[in-house]
Structure 1
Amino acid sequence: MTAQTDKARTLARLHAAPEILRVVNVWDAVSARAVAALPETRAIATAGHSIAATFGYEDGEKIPLATMLDMVGRIVEAAGDLPVSADLDAGYGNPGETVRRAIGVGVVGANVEDRLKPLDESVAAVAAIIAAGEAEGVPFALNARTDALIRGGDRPLDASIADAIERGRAYLDAGADVVFVPGIVDADVARRLVDGIGERKVSVIGLPGALRAADYEALGVARISYGPMTQRVALTALQDVAADLYAEGVIPDSTRALN
């Protein structure tokens, strides 16, 4: 059994555990090291939006895949023994091959989004990802993302929830580990998603206005991540201290040497 296989199985166990898996998204090697150094950290997740922004690209597969994967590989190295789940957008046109390349840099799980493509096409993408993991000897932990809530347009919320549940069940049947439903998921929506998709099978994002991780845990949610929010917090702190320095301020004594 390889170390990478061990990490993949660890990530799957963390998804299935009674405690919600809290993953703090990172975007480069130094942010990965800073988060990995915390004793509470059980796994690392990359933020595709944040990595793209680091290189000056907009989100949505504008950054070249090779550039993205190079940074993801650096994050894997910085994370040490921790499993790393990568944000791979929609799979860059070939989800199976993209995951194969991600496994090549040490990744053991990923988010891959459906962008509300036809269900049969989305299920085929999930199946291709799982097959790629099997071919590489890695039990890949796919956090299959459905955009049913955030791309639902003006359709009723009930219709979007029903779509998320239908897609989520199909993705689990195709081999996904958990189902990521981004958007502002309140307690009622979370409860309905868990009832429809399964206990410890739903993954959410911690946006402003979302519930606390412990609240989602009580509702049966498996995982919470924070996407580009963590980089925004870091950049807000940078911009604020820069403004203070321009105003004759000084570097705070509480600053830690994390780089």
Structure 2
Amino acid sequence: MPVTTKDKRATFRKLHESGCFVIPNPYDVGSAKALQHMGFKALASTSAGFAWTIGKADNRVTLEDVLTHLTALCAAVDLPVNADFEGGFAHEPEKVAANVARAVKTGVAGLSIEDSTGDAARPLYERSEAIARIKAARGAIDADNSGVLLTGRCEGFLVGRADLDLVIDRLKAYSDAGADCLYAPGIRTPEQIAAVVRAVHPKPVNLLQGWPGVSVAEATELGVRRISIGGSLARAAWGGFMRAAREIAEKGTFNEFGHAQPGGELNKMFS
């Protein structure tokens, strides 16, 4: 029986009710299908990973690029897909709402809205403005009873504002504004993670793991509900590509191909 968008959204919400799950980030249809094949329960897009596939830097893709990409990911797998929707591709709350409404139509089960501005002189939106943007996203999601799960992100640790009190204050405000899940990319220590989990309880927390560190078991003990990995799988893939290409360019040898995934196995997986 075909898995419907409604089914995916219900499954995604259920996953946030208890336990801890990893939501890996594919960067194209092939990597999404591979992750489904490996047994993951849900997926999330990655703005950086996708951008690199079309030869752009992170935060340089267009709204139309992302909507097309999300539509393709959602159609390719039977798993719920959470959208890395950056800052909503707009500054004004009403424009964020309009763009979120379009994202909902792609079939995503969830999406996140960031509070970073992209302006080094003012890296975060003012608190009241950031809250208004979350409220606008909430309103757009609820307008057609879509059931899409909204994640509110505070980017403080990624933009040079590594102030845990500031981050927690904002996450609590985003929760009050309608965010279903809270996310502070860049926190790393068990103490930081536990503090965020306590502060927004009972709302679930997403933890970014893009480096060696806290394991799934340890994150579970700290109360984390969801773990995403951002562009890290894409970086790992690019690492293998660059090592092999550099070896050919600089040495004229092909030893790195010995580490490549066998083509037969890939064909079998995608058949």
What TM-score comes out, normalization by structure 2 length?
A: 0.85
1:253 and 1:113 mapped to 2: Cα distance?
A: 36
Residue type at the aligned position of 1:99: V
Number of residue pairs matched by the alignment: 249
Shift of 1:202: 1.7
- Identify the range of structure 1 (108-117 vs 8-17) with the bigger mean alpha-carbon deviation: 8-17
Q: Is contact 2:187-2:193 (8 Å) kept?
A: no
Number of the residue aligned with 1:14: 15
| Whole-angstrom CA distance in 2 between matches of 1:196 and 1:58 | 34
Where does the alignment leave 5 or more consecutive residues of structure 1 unmatched?
none
What is the Cα deviation at residue 209 of structure 1?
A: 4.0
| SS in structure 1 of the partner of residue 143 of structure 2 | helix
Return the match for 2:70 from 55, 72, 83.
72
Contact 2:244 2:254 in 1 (8 A): no
Aligned to 1:77, the other structure's residue is in SS state helix
Does the residue aligned with 1:82 lie in a helix, a strand or coil?
coil
User: Identity of counterpart residues, as a percentage?
Assistant: 27
Q: Cα distance 1:248–1:38, how it changes in 2: closer, same or farther (>3 A)?
A: closer
The one-letter code sitting in structure 2 at the alignment partner of 1:84 is V
Q: CA 1:88 to 1:248, structure 2 compared with 1: closer, same or farther past 3 Å? A: closer
Deviations 1:84-120, CA, capped at 9 Å, x for gaps: 1011110011321221111111112112101121122
Please give the root-mean-square deviation of Cα atoms over the aligned residues, in Å: 2.0
Q: Which residue of 1 aligns with 2:83?
A: 86
> Is residue 120 from structure 1 mapped to residue 128 from structure 2 by the alignment?
yes
Given the alignment of the two structures, is residue 100 of structure 1 paired with residue 101 of structure 2, yes or no? yes
The residue type paired with residue 96 of structure 1 is: A
> 1:215 is paired with a residue of what secondary structure?
helix
Distance 1:179 1:252, change over 3 A: closer
Shift of the 152–237 alpha-carbon distance from structure 1 to 2, 3 Å rule, reads: closer
Work out which of the residue numbers 131, 136, 141 in structure 2 matches 1:133: 141
Deviations along 1:139-168, one digit per CA (max 9) or x if unpaired, are 121121101222244xxx5xx211121111
SS in 2 for 1:97: helix
Native 8 Å contact 2:101 2:141 kept in 1: yes
CA 65–218 in structure 1, closer or farther in 2 if over 3 Å, else same:
same
Q: Secondary structure at the match of 2:158?
A: coil
In structure 1, the residue matched to 2:23 is: 23
Give the TM-score, by structure 1 length: 0.88
2:52 — aligned with what? 53
Greater displacement, 120-129 / 248-257? 248-257
Query: Contact (CA 8 Å) 1:146, 1:164: kept in 2 or not?
Result: yes
Say whether the 8 Å CA contact 2:180–2:203 is kept in structure 1.
Answer: no
Q: Corresponding residue for 2:33?
A: 33
